[in-house]
Structure 1
C-alpha cells in the first residue's frame, strides 16, 4: 500500500511539477499528496542531472558558450513548463505594485502580466545567462546537480511551514491534504543526504548551504511582511530566485 502511494505520489509530482505528459488519473488523498511533496526534491535531482548532462554534452561540441548558456536557460525552464517562472512574474507584479497586503494577494491571482512582471522576467533571464555563461567558461557543472534539489527542499519548507497568504488556491488545497510530520521527516532525510554528498566540495558546500539557509529565512520574512503568508505562486518564485542565487554562490566559490 505504501509503495503504491509512493509511486502514485511520484507520478503526481511529475504531473504537477514537470512538463512530462503523465496520462493517468490519480486520487488526491493524504498519502499521495504527502508523497508528491516529499518527492519534490527528487524531481529537482532529476532536473539537476539533466542540467549537468547538458553542459557535459555541449562540452564535446563546437557551440559557443553563449549558445550553450542560452539553451541551458530554455531547457531548464522547459523541464517544468515554466511553472515556477510564472510564480516569479506574479510575485514581482504584486510586490512592486506597492499596494497593501490584501491588494497584493489579489494581484497574485491576476493571470495578466504587468510591466513590473515583464521587467523582472527580463532581469531574471539576464542574471541566469550571466551566471551560467561564466559557469560554462569555467567548465564547472557538478554542483549544478545540487542546486534544484536545495531549491525544492526550501520550497517544501515554504509550502508546509509558512502561514498561508489566502485560504484558497493550490497551496491552500494541498496544505489540507499533506501529512506534515511525514513530509518533514522525508525532506530532512533528503536534506541530510544532500549535505553529505556536497560536503566533498568543501568551500562550495559551505557557501551553498549558507546561502540556502539565508535565502529561506529571508524569504519567509518577505512573504509574511508583504503578503501575509505564502501561496503557490510565492513557492514557485522561491524556487526560481533561489536557483539563481545558488548558481551565483557556486560561481563565486570557483
Structure 2
C-alpha cells in the first residue's frame, strides 16, 4: 500500500498513533502536529476505531493540569488554590468541551417538557439556569475533591487527576455504545460507534492505567471503587438520556464524561478517608 496514503502495515503502531493524534485533536485544543505519513489530520474522526486510544489521550490531556497541581502544591498555595488552578488548566486544554455538553444537557433535560423541546434547548448555544447551576456544582465538586485528595494524600492527588481524566473518557463511551443517535443528522450519528475491538482495547488500557496508578499513591481498593463509580455514573446518565430524548448526542457524551469524572474523584476521596 502507498506509504503516502496511510498504509498502517508500513510500521507497527502507525494506526494507533494516528488514532491517538485524532483523539487529541477532537477532545482538546492542544496543538497536535501531523504525524509522519498521516493522510489528512483534519479528516472527520472515525469513532469505530478512534476510541481505542482514549485512555492514553486522557492521560496526555491531564498531564498539564497534573503538573500545575503539583507545582502549586509544592510552592505552598494550599489545596484549594492548587486544585482550582489544575481544573482551570484542564478546562482550557479541552476547550470546555465536556462542560459545554453538561450545561446543554442540564438545560435540555431540566427545562424541556417533551423530547423535541429538550433537543431544541440542547441545540441552543445560550445557557440557562439549569446549565449554569450544573456547571457551578460540577466545578465545585471537582475542585473540592482534588483539594481533599491533596490534603489527605499529597502528590497522589496528581495520579488521581490523571487517572480520572482517562477513566472518565472511556466511561463516556457508554451512550455511544448503548444508544442510537437522538438526531439522525447530528455529529454523534456522523462519527459512528466504537466497534468491539476498539472498545475492548480502550477498556484494557484503562485497566492497565488503573494498575499503574497503585505504585503512585492510590490504593487498589480506591482505584477499583473509582472504576465502579465512573461506570455507574455514566450508565445512570445514559439511562436518563434514553428516557428523556430516546438516544444520545454529543452533549450527552460530554455530560457523561463530567459525571464519570466527578464520581471517580469522589470514590477516591472516600477511599482515602
Q: TM-score, normalised by structure 2?
A: 0.82
1:173 alignment counterpart: 190
- Aligned partner of 2:121 among 101, 107, 116: 107
CA contact (8 A) 2:22 2:50 kept: yes
Aligned alpha-carbon RMSD (Å): 2.3
Please list, as runs of the form range in 1=range in 2, the aligned pairs for 1:24-173 lying within 5 A after superposition: 25-26=40-41, 28=43, 33-138=47-152, 139=154, 140-141=156-157, 142-173=159-190
In the alignment, structure 1 residue 7 sits paired with structure 2 residue 22: no
Report how far residue 248 of structure 1 moved. 0.9
Report how far residue 105 of structure 1 moved. 1.5
1:187 alignment counterpart: 202
Q: How many residues align?
A: 251
Structure 1 unmatched runs, 5+: none
In the alignment, structure 1 residue 22 sits paired with structure 2 residue 32: yes
2:265 alignment counterpart: 247
Q: TM-score, normalised by structure 1?
A: 0.88
CA contact (8 A) 1:147 1:246 kept: yes
Higher mean C-alpha displacement, 131-140 vs 3-12: 3-12
Residues 29/64 of structure 1: CA separation in 2 closer, same or farther (3 Å cut): closer
Residues 149-179 of structure 1, C-alpha deviations (whole Å, 9 max, x = no match): 111111223223322211122111101xx56
Residues 161/199 of structure 1: CA separation in 2 closer, same or farther (3 Å cut): farther
SS of 2:95's equivalent in the other structure is coil
Higher mean C-alpha displacement, 184-193 vs 79-88: 184-193
Residues 167-194 of structure 1, C-alpha deviations (whole Å, 9 max, x = no match): 122111101xx56133223223223323
Residues 206/96 of structure 1: CA separation in 2 closer, same or farther (3 Å cut): same
CA contact (8 A) 1:5 1:35 kept: no
Structure 2 unmatched runs, 5+: 1-6, 35-39
Relative contact order, higher structure (CA 8 A, sep 6+): 1
Higher mean C-alpha displacement, 79-88 vs 114-123: 114-123
Residues 46/174 of structure 1: CA separation in 2 closer, same or farther (3 Å cut): same
In the alignment, the residues of structure 1 paired with residue 78 and residue 180 of structure 2 have an alpha-carbon distance, to the nearest angstrom, of 46
Residues 99-128 of structure 1, C-alpha deviations (whole Å, 9 max, x = no match): 112211221111111222112212222222
2:228 alignment counterpart: 210
CA contact (8 A) 1:40 1:152 kept: yes
CA contact (8 A) 2:230 2:261 kept: no
